[in-house]
């Protein structure tokens, strides 16, 4: 097996803030003489609106500006550089063709106030995406408005509330398993519900007995992540749904892990009433700094009246129309029509893959995670033995015996040139190491990662100090996270003393 060498050194050029660089008078522009008559500024703008100087405005040459931003970009680790195995985050590669499509003039230059007749193409993209997402999830209708997964959760729960209120009683609580992402109980709270914890059983799945004990007429619904954050499919989901429906409660599914089951299982077929998807996970649109997220929400017909307005409807002649006449709607949850640039990218991905391609993506994601699991099992403690799908959760139990903890392992992995996996989540696993390779990693990249993890496991036994003091190859080592959280410095101030020039 050939293993390519990983980077042994990260960018080490230090770089000051742009405000601390340059020198007055230095500049990067050289304007040629104007070929139109010159007029004084004071003729054009009121004196009181003009200022002579901007305090601290940097003055730099072009080369300094280019180097400044190039150096900063060098500090970045991103999915175009290497494996990014953050569990629960599905950091899959974002195909470049998506970018090309999102930048087509007819999409990129749209204005949201254009009349419907001039944006039929864009509405068609959104309508097609809605139809595709409904088909993939087995649901009836979809809103594309929410701007992130957590925003989708809130939108979904507001609809749950509206549904119960339309039946006369809002109900009080939402059941949330203890393995859930922190956004789940938070969304329940913000939607005005009490979040009630449901403990997992020894297999790492929802406990039906515990559920029965917590079920009562005040329960508005349950939020289930499936597969859950341990990567385990909630096999009792259909029975859980039956029990919820028996008391008139609804089933919300956190669909952040949909990448594990596209084309294999449909939430709409196992009792889910409402769910959100993360386009920036499952459907290959960029995460965070790479672009805004998008968290579409899919519902069954019973909840459709409450969807945020407007929805896109297709008229008899095939034209698309924005429908604002939705009296029971919870209202708008986002300006205009959501993150349109993400919708065009996600649709491009779905259409390029097709049904078989999406299924293959999920199967490969599961296969890759199983490969990592089988290679690391033994060196790292497997928190739950049940079969896992797209991700696998280890713990630092074996390493802790040598005084090395999950944070140290994560930092050491940086020395081997990898972004660390998710750590310390899910909370049900002490010292959790949550790895999700996704389908877009090659065998070689996975082997290099596995190799690094195994080396670190050995180092924990032979040279624990080396792991505890990692990273050794980065520009900055460990930062004082506690102090940063207790006394955050949120604003740069010019250094005191005589002004630098």
Ligand X SMILES: Cc1ncc(COP(=O)(O)O)c(C=O)c1O
Rounded Cα gap, residues 377 and 128, in angstroms: 43
Residue 476 sits in the site that holds another protein (CB under 8 A): no
Residue 393 sits in the site that holds ligand X (CB under 6 A): no
Q: Is the dihedral of CA 331, 146, 123, 315 positive or negative?
A: negative
Shortest spacing between CB 352 and another protein, in angstroms: 39
Which of 92/381 has CB closer to another protein?
Answer: 381
DSSP 31: P
Residue 438 sits in the site that holds ligand X (CB under 6 A): no
The residue with its CB nearest to ligand X is 149
Residue 228 sits in the site that holds another protein (CB under 8 A): no
Residue 246 sits in the site that holds another protein (CB under 8 A): no
Look at residue 481 and give the partner it binds from ligand X, another protein, none, a contact being a CB closer than 5 to 8 Å depending on partner kind.
Answer: another protein
Q: In 40-141, which ranges are continuous DSSP H helix?
A: 41-44, 62-74, 96-102, 105-108, 120-137
Shortest spacing between CB 24 and another protein, in angstroms: 41
Identify the CA nearest to 387 among candidates 259, 201, 230: 230
Residue 267 sits in the site that holds ligand X (CB under 6 A): no
Shortest spacing between CB 399 and another protein, in angstroms: 17
Residue 212 sits in the site that holds another protein (CB under 8 A): no
Identify the CA nearest to 296 among candidates 99, 163, 305, 285: 285
Is the CB of residue 83 less than 8 Å from the CB of residue 371?
no
Among 33, 54, 202, 496, binds another protein (CB under 8 A): 202
Which of 371/398 has CB closer to another protein?
Answer: 398
Residue 149 sits in the site that holds ligand X (CB under 6 A): yes
Residue 339 sits in the site that holds ligand X (CB under 6 A): no
Look at residue 50 and give the partner it binds from another protein, ligand X, none, a contact being a CB closer than 5 to 8 Å depending on partner kind.
Answer: none
Look at residue 119 and give the partner it binds from ligand X, another protein, none, a contact being a CB closer than 5 to 8 Å depending on partner kind.
Answer: none
Rounded Cα gap, residues 144 and 67, in angstroms: 39
Residue 89 sits in the site that holds ligand X (CB under 6 A): yes
Sheet containing 274-276, strands listed edge to edge, beginning at the edge strand earlier in sequence: 141-143, 297-299, 274-276, 250-254, 219-225, 173-177, 194-198
Rounded Cα gap, residues 259 and 276, in angstroms: 13
Q: From start to end of 107-180, where are the E strands?
A: 141-143, 173-177
Task: Return residues touching another protein (CB under 8 A).
Answer: 178, 182, 199-200, 202, 424, 427-428, 481-482, 485-486
């Amino acid at each position: 097996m050939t293993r390519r060498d990983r980077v042994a050194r990260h960018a080490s050029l230090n770089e000051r803030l742009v405000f601390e660089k340059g020198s007055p008078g230095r500049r990067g522009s050289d304007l040629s003489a104007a070929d139109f008559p010159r007029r004084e500024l004071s003729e054009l703008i009121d004196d009181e609106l003009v200022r002579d100087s901007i305090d601290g405005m940097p003055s730099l040459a072009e080369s300094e500006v280019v180097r400044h931003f190039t150096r900063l970009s060098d500090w970045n680790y991103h999915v175009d550089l290497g494996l990014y195995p953050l569990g629960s985050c599905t950091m899959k590669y974002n195909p470049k063709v998506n970018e090309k499509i999102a930048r087509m003039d007819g999409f990129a230059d749209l204005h949201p106030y254009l009349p419907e007749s001039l944006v039929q193409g864009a509405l068609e993209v959104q309508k097609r995406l809605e139809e595709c997402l409904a088909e993939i999830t087995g649901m009836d209708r979809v809103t594309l408005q929410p701007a992130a997964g957590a925003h989708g959760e809130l939108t979904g729960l507001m609809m749950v509330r509206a549904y119960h209120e339309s039946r006369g009683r809002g109900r009080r609580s939402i059941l949330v398993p203890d393995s859930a992402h922190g956004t789940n109980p938070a969304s329940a709270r913000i939607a005005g519900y009490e979040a009630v914890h449901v403990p997992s059983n020894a297999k790492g799945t929802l406990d039906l007995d515990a559920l029965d004990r917590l079920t009562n007429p005040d329960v508005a619904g349950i939020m289930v992540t499936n597969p859950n954050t341990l990567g385990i499919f909630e096999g009792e989901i259909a029975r859980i749904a039956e029990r919820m429906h028996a008391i008139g409660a609804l089933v919300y599914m956190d669909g952040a892990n949909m990448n594990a089951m596209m084309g294999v299982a449909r939430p709409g077929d196992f009792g889910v009433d409402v769910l959100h998807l993360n386009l920036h996970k499952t459907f290959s649109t960029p995460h965070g700094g790479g672009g805004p997220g998008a968290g579409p929400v899919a519902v069954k017909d019973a909840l459709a009246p409450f969807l945020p307005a407007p929805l896109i409807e297709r008229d008899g002649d095939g034209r698309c129309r924005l429908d604002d006449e939705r009296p029971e709607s919870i209202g708008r949850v986002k300006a205009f029509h959501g993150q349109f640039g993400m919708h065009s990218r996600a649709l491009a991905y779905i259409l390029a893959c097709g049904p078989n391609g999406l299924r293959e993506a999920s199967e490969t994601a599961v296969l890759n995670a199983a490969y990592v699991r089988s290679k690391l099992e033994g060196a790292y403690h497997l928190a739950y033995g049940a079969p896992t799908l797209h991700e696998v959760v280890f713990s630092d139990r074996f390493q802790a015996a040598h005084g090395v903890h999950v944070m140290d392992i994560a930092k050491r992995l940086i020395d081997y040139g990898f972004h660390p996996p998710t750590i310390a989540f899910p909370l049900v696993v002490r010292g959790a190491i949550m790895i999700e390779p996704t389908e877009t990693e090659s065998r070689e990249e996975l082997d290099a990662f596995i190799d690094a993890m195994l080396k670190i496991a050995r180092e924990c036994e032979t040279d624990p100090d080396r792991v505890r003091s990692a990273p050794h190859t980065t520009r900055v080592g460990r930062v004082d996270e506690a102090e940063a959280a207790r006394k955050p410095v949120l604003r740069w101030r010019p250094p005191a003393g005589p002004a630098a020039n």
